[in-house]
Amino acid sequence: MGSDPLSRWLTAPGIYLGLATLFLMVRLLPFGIADQGWPGPDLMFCLSAAWVQRRPDLLPLGLIAAVAILGDFLLQRPPGLWAALTVLGTEYLRRQVIPGQMQSFPAEFLIFALLNGALILTNWLILALFVVPQPSFGAVLAQWPVTLLAYPVCVFVLIHVLRIRRPIDMAR
Amino acid sequence: MSYNRDPSQEIYRPLRRIFLGGVLLCLCILFILWRIDSPRVERMRAAVVDAVVPKVSWVLKPVTISFEMAGNFRTYQQLYRQNQDLRRELQQMKAWKEAALQLEQQNAQLLDLNNLQLDPKLTFVTGVVLADSGSPFRQSVLLNIGARDGIRDGWAAMDGIGVVGRISGVGRDSARVILLTDTNSTIPVRIQPSSQHALMIGDNSPLPYTDFIETPELVRPGDRVVTSGDGGLFPPDLLVGQIVEGRDGRLRVRLAADYGRMEFLRVLRSGAPEKVDGPGGLIAPPVPPSLPDETPDLNAEAPPEEPESGSDG
């Protein structure tokens, strides 16, 4: 991967789109019809959240919104709601990062956990408010720990495979 | 660009805020629009799915096949035991096949004796399963046939044996099948041999439950469940499954269709159900032909060989 800024600017959205396509396809593959186990992690949200805290300049808002709305349409979710919440959440994280300052991973993880929990709750509440038929609260909430488990993996891949790091970490 | 705080970027920040507000507003409006006018937005969704999924199906296919191969490989380990089981089953099946053949002949004779007309309209279109819903809370699959092949909303989809679900959402090249296990699926069924009418309601578990049974005492686990055709939703007498008693004490249905291996589905072409218009007229002596001004509904009691006569008069 080229280290000069221009090629980074061109390849990073491509990488994001490629991963988004991969995650969507994996969820769409028709082999999970019969098993009724735990819901899978929300990898798209993990990726966006981890990325936006490292290189916010490489992940424009429009890209996140476009991928999220496509996900809403393809994955049979109520269109628009989860996309809006994803955009809100990632914008919050974008502002959360103080430039030039180190942030420890436990703190980052805690913020992510609280944010994801809050978004899932808000999603559930709004759907209940609009009287949309939805699965039981327990089943919805089961997504939360699964997504939390996936987050460190996502961060690891982002840092060590894709080399998306904070500018301050790269300088050291 | 929150970390990039050099002054040249400062002028973009209000613009960016407006953009963020606009995106959020659009998404919320879309959601509210979906809640108000669901069919229109769902058609939009069908169009999006139709535009995206068939294009990537060439990627989906090899991955699906390799996963199936991995699954098949796992069954090699139990091959011996499976073989024994199959042999035993085959023995039983041979006996059943004899019985079935005899019954079929007998049935054909009886049908012939009664001069019974079988419903000739059940033809089908077969489609390949492209993708599932992608959500743990929605039970549906996407087929590679759509409006181009004449598929319409509401038609029944079956695998080789039993009903799988019904079409809900048709794109040009793709159609979505809501499975019977989905929470949105409620179909009228009949439980044989007691001929009890009931509703079968999906609840996201592999075994949908039955409700509104007239006399539940007559229903036993092991009874056959077939579609009843009430409401014109499905053609009648398609096999659905067998009654089992769930862990919660409810009567549930073990579906005859194999949800673990869904590759091809048949979509049954069922035309619009025939309507019975009006209660039928009085039974009166035949009207002499010299009275053409007679009210038309007296003609409705023509002999049953001419069911069209009511509309002709």
Tell me the chain B residues in contact with residue A80 when contact means C-beta distances shorter than 8 Å.
Answer: 26-31, 34
pTM for the structure as a whole? 0.73
Question: Which CATH number does the domain housing residue B258 bear?
Answer: 2.40.10.340
With respect to residue B11, please indicate whether it lies within any of the assigned structural domains: no
Its ipTM equals 0.87
Domain membership of residue B14 (yes or no) is: no
**CA separation for the pair B205, B223 (Å, rounded):** 20
Q: How much of chain B, in percent, has pLDDT values that exceed 90? A: 26
DSSP one-letter code for B263: -
- Domain presence at residue B307: no
Rounded Cα distance between A119 and A86, Å, is 8
pLDDT confidence of residue B236: 84
Structure tokens at B108: 């054909």
At residue B311, the pLDDT reads: 42
Q: What is the pLDDT of residues B31-87, one digit of tens each?
A: 999 999 888 898 899 899 888 887 777 777 777 777 778 777 777 777 888 888 999
**pLDDT at res. B308:** 45
Least confident segment among A69-83, B4-18, B198-212, B252-266:
B4-18
Instruction: State how far the Cα of A170 lies from the Cα of B235, in Å rounded to an integer.
Output: 66
Cβ contact A52:A59 at 8 Å: yes
Residue B135, chain A, CB below 8 Å: the answer is: yes
Q: Does B8 touch chain A (CB under 8 A)?
A: no
DSSP bridge pairs for B267: B125, B157
In a domain, B112, yes or no: no
Tell me the chain A residues in contact with residue B36 when contact means C-beta distances shorter than 8 Å. Answer: none
A60-108 pLDDT, tens digit each: 899 999 999 999 998 888 999 999 999 999 999 988 877 667 778 898 9
What is the span of the domain harbouring residue B164? Answer: 123-269
DSSP state at residue A147: H
Residue B199 included in any domain: yes
Separation between Cα atoms, residue A6 and residue B4, nearest integer Å: 16
Interchain CB distance below 8 Å, B41 and A34: no
Q: Is residue B53 part of a domain?
A: no
**Domain residue ranges of chain A, discontinuous segments joined by +:** 5-30+39-171
Q: Could you tell me if residue B52 is inside a domain?
A: no
pLDDT tens, B114-151?
877 666 667 889 998 888 877 777 888 999 999 999 89
Q: Does some domain include residue B26?
A: no
Contact B172, B147 (CB under 8 A): yes
Measured between CB atoms, which of B41, B48, B134 is closest to A27?
B134
Q: What is the distance between the alpha carbons of residues B182 and B164, in angstroms, rounded to a whole number?
A: 11
Smallest Cβ distance to A57: which of B4, B28, B130? B4
How many structural domains compose chain B? 1
Q: CB distance from A88 to chain B under 8 Å?
A: yes
Contacts of A151 (CB under 8 A, 6+ apart): A46, A49, A50, A109, A112, A113
Question: B131 phi and psi, to 5 degrees?
Answer: -155, 160
B12 CB near a chain A CB, below 8 Å? no
A91 in contact with chain B, both atoms CB, cutoff 8 A: yes
User: Parallel, antiparallel, or unpaired: how do β-strands B196-201 and B140-143 relate?
Assistant: unpaired
3-state secondary structure of A154: helix
Is residue B254 within 8 Å of B241, Cβ to Cβ? Answer: yes
* CB distance A112 to A49 below 8 Å: yes
**Nearest CA among B232, B115, B287 for reference residue B309:** B287
